[in-house]
Amino acid sequence: MPKEHLLALDQGTSSSRAIVFHASGRIVALAQREFTQHFPQPGWVEHDADEIWATQLAVAREALAASGLGATDIAAIGIANQRETTVLWRRDTGRPVHRAIVWQDRRTEPMCAQLRAQGLADAVRERTGLVVDPYFSGTKVRWLLDAVPGAHLAAAQGELAFGTVDSWLLWQLTGGGVHATDVSNASRTMLFDIRHNRWDHELLAALHVPDSVLPQVFPSSHVYGHTTLFGAPIPVAGIAGDQQAALFGQAGFAPGLVKNTYGTGCFMLMHTGGRFEPSRHGLVTTAAAQTGAAPEYALEGSVFIGGAVVQWLRDGLRAIEKSADVERLAAGVPDSGGVVFVPAFAGLGAPYWDAAARGAIVGLTRGSTVAHVARAALDSIAFQSAALLQAMAADAAAAGGELPRELRVDGGACVNDLLMQVQADLIGIPVVRPRVTETTALGAAYLAGLAAGVYASRDEIGAQWAEERRFEPAIGRDEAAARMAAWEKAVRQARAG
């Protein structure tokens, strides 16, 4: 009998998760463990790579046990991972030489400023699709090579391996047999030419990163190797960065299909097909998950503070006892009463890219209540996401590409019906919530299943996608434009402060 189950390893920023899926996309079992966050200095964020591996292996075993299945029942393993987080380890021992530097870490901003001063920003944008920013992996690995005694010499002698978290997990799963990554993760390093799917030697030289530390790069759906850690050989056959995996899990294979993940931050990706076009409206161009050798691209925008604004209402303002209470409180008023909340607690991401911006609540009157502030906080998630979609539509129109027709949503906050309706009102196209919202893990499973022969084609996968609820725009476009204008005015005030 053909195998009908897939194991997805969903390695995130705060927890490691594992989900066993039936080939139909149905969740069979799930396990999750949090791991330690390290903050050695302000602006520095680190993870223990060994702890990441230990928790990921543990939840994989827990999920398999809960499913009642064994290794011989699993057709393939797929990996989705927190992107940009950088690991450097010794090839002989498999031990990290330093804690992993997390995507949120800002320690390499001086290095980035130097690269911008050297005039490399245009080359980075034109070849990698990215902006020069500490967010990405290139300056992180350079920092590790500089900071760890003897690392430059060891790297030159071929003794060290660099990878994002997917490469680290793959190395461990295969007992050090495979040092590889996929194009979607490679595209987040600031070292990879996404036009030609290859490492860029000029950028590597500029950052003093030797070829010897680099993983091989393959399509996202590919048999990378096999693991025997679960009792029998299982192919590791799918890898993608978490946001590209979510786009794939949402059946976002064709130009114009766009998804938004509502988590601590928000991450919006729109598939743009096979033509590389650098963004001219404050987004980044990135590699989409690829199922073959041909490049595929997506526009991406990142909101730094999405659902985290609700956590602030709970923990900072103490306006609610638990996060789920925000919808009831915000629904107690018909609108925000003119209050606009710009949650720039960590600056503003795309399309503004302003690290100096700070949070602001404007439009307060004597009639403003905590319910109005809560409504404005929810609205802020939708406003920021609408600004991303406007930028995507402008980029697509300029390139003669497909415009977004609907917004597919996932992530924890997508269960908030009020937020989803506000989102649809602002963007003027339907917001669609799928039946299966674990789209990151599902995308990794689909990629693995495709390489392992569980699915015959992407069309077969796409046919499994099903909506749970559709939110249609309920206000006119003039009213939506007026609301967005009020938002942009508040953003200008937050940036001026």
**pLDDT at residue 497 is higher than 70:** no
Binning pLDDT at 50, 70 and 90, where does residue 245 land?
very high
The arithmetic mean of pLDDT across residues 485-492, rounded, is 94
Share of the chain above pLDDT 70, in %: 100
Condensed to tens digits (0 to 9), the pLDDT of residues 387-410 reads: 999 999 999 888 887 788 899 999
Condensed to tens digits (0 to 9), the pLDDT of residues 44-83 reads: 889 999 999 999 999 999 999 999 999 999 999 999 999 9
Q: Assign 3-class secondary structure to the chain.
A: CCCCEEEEEEECCCEEEEEEEECCCCEEEEEEEECCCECCCCCCCEECHHHHHHHHHHHHHHHHHHHCCCHHHEEEEEEEECCCCEEEEECCCCCECCCEECCCCCCCHHHHHHHHHCCCHHHHHHHHCCCCCCCCCHHHHHHHHHHCCCHHHHHHCCCEEEEEHHHHHHHHHCCCCCCEEEHHHHCCCCCEECCCCEECHHHHHHCCCCHHHCCEEECCEEEEEEECCCCCCEEEEEEEEHHHHHHHHCCCCCCCCEEEEECCCEEEEEEEECCCCCCCCCCEEEECCCCCCCCCEEEEEEECCCCHHHHHHHHCCCCCCCHHHHHHHHCCCCCCCCCEEECCECEECCCCCECCCCCEEECCCCCCCHHHHHHHHHHHHHHHHHHHHHHHHHHHHHCCCCCCCCEEEECHHHHCHHHHHHHHHHHCCCEEEECCCCHHHHHHHHHHHHHCCCCCCHHHHHCCCCEEEEECCCCCHHHHHHHHHHHHHHHHHHHHC
Condensed to tens digits (0 to 9), the pLDDT of residues 354-380 reads: 877 888 999 999 999 999 999 999 999
Condensed to tens digits (0 to 9), the pLDDT of residues 193-233 reads: 999 999 999 999 999 999 999 999 999 999 999 999 999 99
Condensed to tens digits (0 to 9), the pLDDT of residues 422-478 reads: 999 999 999 999 998 899 999 999 999 999 999 999 999 999 999 999 999 999 999
Condensed to tens digits (0 to 9), the pLDDT of residues 208-218 reads: 999 999 999 99
Condensed to tens digits (0 to 9), the pLDDT of residues 314-357 reads: 888 888 888 888 888 998 999 999 999 999 887 888 898 887 78
